[in-house]
Protein backbone atom coordinates (compact mmCIF):
# COMPACT_ATOMS: atom_id res chain seq x y z
CA UNK A 1 0.00 0.00 0.00
CA UNK A 2 1.28 3.47 -0.77
CA UNK A 3 2.23 5.36 2.42
CA UNK A 4 -0.15 8.26 1.73
CA UNK A 5 -3.16 5.97 1.62
CA UNK A 6 -2.05 4.22 4.80
CA UNK A 7 -1.57 7.52 6.60
CA UNK A 8 -5.01 8.71 5.52
CA UNK A 9 -6.63 5.46 6.66
CA UNK A 10 -4.88 5.62 10.04
CA UNK A 11 -5.66 9.28 10.60
CA UNK A 12 -9.32 8.81 9.68
CA UNK A 13 -9.60 5.87 12.05
CA UNK A 14 -7.91 7.90 14.79
CA UNK A 15 -10.37 10.76 14.29
CA UNK A 16 -13.25 8.28 14.56
CA UNK A 17 -11.86 6.86 17.79
CA UNK A 18 -11.35 10.31 19.26
CA UNK A 19 -14.96 11.13 18.43
CA UNK A 20 -16.12 7.88 20.07
CA UNK A 21 -14.04 8.72 23.14
CA UNK A 22 -15.74 12.13 23.42
CA UNK A 23 -19.25 10.69 23.03
CA UNK A 24 -18.40 7.95 25.47
CA UNK A 25 -17.19 10.42 28.10
CA UNK A 26 -20.37 12.46 27.73
CA UNK A 27 -22.42 9.29 28.27
CA UNK A 28 -20.48 8.49 31.44
CA UNK A 29 -21.03 12.00 32.78
CA UNK A 30 -24.79 11.75 32.18
CA UNK A 31 -24.94 8.43 34.03
CA UNK A 32 -23.19 9.94 37.04
CA UNK A 33 -25.54 12.92 37.12
CA UNK A 34 -28.59 10.69 36.96
CA UNK A 35 -27.54 8.40 39.75
CA UNK A 36 -28.60 10.77 42.50
CA UNK A 37 -32.25 10.63 41.48
CA UNK A 38 -32.89 7.14 40.20
CA UNK A 39 -34.31 3.98 41.70
CA UNK A 40 -32.66 0.65 42.24
CA UNK A 41 -33.57 -0.91 38.89
CA UNK A 42 -32.35 1.97 36.85
CA UNK A 43 -29.27 2.12 39.01
CA UNK A 44 -28.49 -1.36 37.74
CA UNK A 45 -28.96 -0.08 34.20
CA UNK A 46 -26.64 2.79 35.00
CA UNK A 47 -24.01 0.44 36.37
CA UNK A 48 -24.32 -1.68 33.27
CA UNK A 49 -23.86 1.25 30.95
CA UNK A 50 -20.91 2.43 33.02
CA UNK A 51 -19.31 -0.97 32.64
CA UNK A 52 -19.95 -0.74 28.91
CA UNK A 53 -18.42 2.74 28.79
CA UNK A 54 -15.35 1.49 30.60
CA UNK A 55 -15.02 -1.36 28.10
CA UNK A 56 -15.41 1.00 25.15
CA UNK A 57 -12.74 3.23 26.68
CA UNK A 58 -10.33 0.32 27.12
CA UNK A 59 -10.86 -0.88 23.56
CA UNK A 60 -10.55 2.64 22.21
CA UNK A 61 -7.27 3.27 24.01
CA UNK A 62 -5.87 -0.04 22.84
CA UNK A 63 -6.68 0.81 19.22
CA UNK A 64 -5.27 4.33 19.54
CA UNK A 65 -2.01 2.79 20.73
CA UNK A 66 -2.07 0.40 17.78
CA UNK A 67 -2.57 3.38 15.45
CA UNK A 68 0.35 5.25 17.00
CA UNK A 69 2.50 2.13 16.51
CA UNK A 70 1.31 1.79 12.90
CA UNK A 71 2.19 5.43 12.19
CA UNK A 72 5.62 4.76 13.62
CA UNK A 73 6.03 1.74 11.34
CA UNK A 74 4.96 3.97 8.48
CA UNK A 75 7.69 6.48 9.36
CA UNK A 76 10.20 3.63 9.51
CA UNK A 77 8.99 2.28 6.16
CA UNK A 78 7.96 -0.96 7.82
CA UNK A 79 4.25 -0.43 7.49
CA UNK A 80 2.34 -3.13 5.64
CA UNK A 81 5.03 -5.74 6.22
CA UNK A 82 3.92 -8.83 8.08
CA UNK A 83 5.82 -8.92 11.38
CA UNK A 84 5.70 -12.72 11.36
CA UNK A 85 6.83 -13.67 7.85
CA UNK A 86 7.92 -10.38 6.26
CA UNK A 87 5.54 -10.68 3.31
CA UNK A 88 3.49 -7.68 2.27
CA UNK A 89 0.04 -7.46 3.83
CA UNK A 90 -2.63 -7.09 1.12
CA UNK A 91 -4.20 -3.67 0.53
CA UNK A 92 -7.67 -5.18 1.04
CA UNK A 93 -6.68 -6.40 4.49
CA UNK A 94 -5.12 -3.06 5.43
CA UNK A 95 -8.16 -1.17 4.19
CA UNK A 96 -10.37 -3.33 6.41
CA UNK A 97 -7.97 -3.08 9.33
CA UNK A 98 -5.26 -0.43 8.93
CA UNK A 99 -3.49 -1.54 12.13
CA UNK A 100 -3.03 -5.15 10.98
CA UNK A 101 0.52 -6.31 11.69
CA UNK A 102 0.36 -9.80 10.18
CA UNK A 103 -0.71 -11.03 6.76
CA UNK A 104 -3.83 -13.12 6.30
CA UNK A 105 -1.87 -16.37 6.08
CA UNK A 106 -0.10 -15.77 9.39
CA UNK A 107 -3.30 -14.50 11.02
CA UNK A 108 -5.07 -17.71 10.09
CA UNK A 109 -2.17 -19.95 10.96
CA UNK A 110 -1.54 -21.13 7.43
CA UNK A 111 2.10 -20.16 7.53
ZN1 LIG B 1 2.76 -13.30 7.32
For the chain, how many structural domains are there in total?
A: 1
Ligand 1 centroid–CA 107 distance in Å is 7
As a whole-number percent, the residues of the chain with pLDDT over 70 amount to: 89
Q: What is the average pLDDT value for the chain, to the nearest integer?
A: 90
Query: Is residue 85, in this structure, part of any structural domain at all?
Result: no
Distance 1 CA to ligand 1 centre (A): 15
Q: Is residue 87 part of a domain?
A: no
Residue 23 lies in a domain: yes
Structural domain boundaries, residue 11: 3-77
User: Going along the chain, which residue ranges are E strands?
Assistant: none
- Residue 84 clears pLDDT 80, i.e. is over it: yes
d(CA 48, CA 21): 18
Q: Is the dihedral of CA 72, 75, 76, 79 positive or negative?
A: positive
Query: Does residue 52 sit within a domain?
Result: yes
Average pLDDT over residues 16-38: 78
Task: Give the pLDDT mean for 14-21.
Answer: 96
Is residue 108 included in any domain, yes or no?
A: no
Residue 94 lies in a domain: no
**Ligand 1 centroid from CA 83, angstroms:** 7
Residue 45 has a pLDDT of 81
pLDDT > 80? residue 29: no
pLDDT tens digits for range 42-59:
777 888 888 999 999 999
Amino acid sequence: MIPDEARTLLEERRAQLEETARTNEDATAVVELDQARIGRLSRMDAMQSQAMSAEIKRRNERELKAIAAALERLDNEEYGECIACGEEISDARLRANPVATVCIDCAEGRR
